[in-house]
């Protein structure tokens, strides 16, 4: 009986969850202004994690709601953008300009934690990381490295 109740509750939950997922496409500069203007970045108890790497000569960034769990390389690198209610958001962008567009949507006072790159890809240049830090801080965000 308990198993039936769990399944009965699980199915509606999954339907709602799936309806909330996948509300945006990959964001690239300069077209990303319009796409990120409606993207929801809720206030986060654990801030946001920022990953950056170089792929085919281009800088890529993923901003994802902070959690206690390790993120997989596939999760970080995937092109999907997601928002699950007010609890979780993830967005991947190409280029610093697109990242700036995303940063403008994050509530002031939020903490952004630079997590670095991906194991099998070149890392973002240190001078660009410092430019990102300065830009985020100019928006009233806390940037930790």
Q: Report the distance separating Cα 113 and Cα 32, nearest Å.
A: 22
- CA dist 10 → 1, 3, 7, 15, 16 (Å): 14, 10, 5, 9, 10
- 110 Rama sector, left if φ>0, alpha if ψ -120 to 50, beta otherwise: beta
Domain residue limits, the chain: 24-144
CB atoms within 10 A of CB 2: 6
Q: What are phi and psi of 140, to 5 degrees?
A: 85, 20
pLDDT in tens, 83-130: 555 566 788 999 999 999 999 989 999 999 999 998 899 999 999 999
pLDDT in tens, 43-85: 777 889 999 999 999 999 999 888 778 888 888 887 766 655 5
Q: Report the distance separating Cα 132 and Cα 78, nearest Å.
A: 22
pTM given for the model: 0.71
């Amino acid at each position: 009986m308990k198993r039936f109740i769990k399944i009965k509750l699980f199915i509606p939950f999954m339907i709602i969850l799936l309806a909330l997922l996948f509300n945006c496409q990959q964001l690239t500069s300069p077209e990303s202004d319009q796409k990120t203007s409606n993207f929801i970045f809720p206030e986060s108890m654990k801030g946001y994690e920022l990953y950056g790497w170089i792929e085919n000569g281009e800088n890529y960034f993923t901003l994802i709601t902070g959690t206690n769990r390790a993120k997989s390389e596939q999760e970080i690198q995937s092109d999907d953008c997601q928002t699950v209610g007010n609890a979780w958001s993830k967005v991947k962008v190409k280029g610093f300009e697109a990242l700036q567009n995303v940063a403008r949507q994050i509530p002031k006072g939020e903490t952004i934690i630079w997590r670095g790159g991906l194991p099998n890809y070149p890392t973002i240049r240190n001078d660009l990381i410092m430019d990102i830090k300065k830009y985020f801080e100019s928006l009233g965000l806390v940037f930790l490295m």
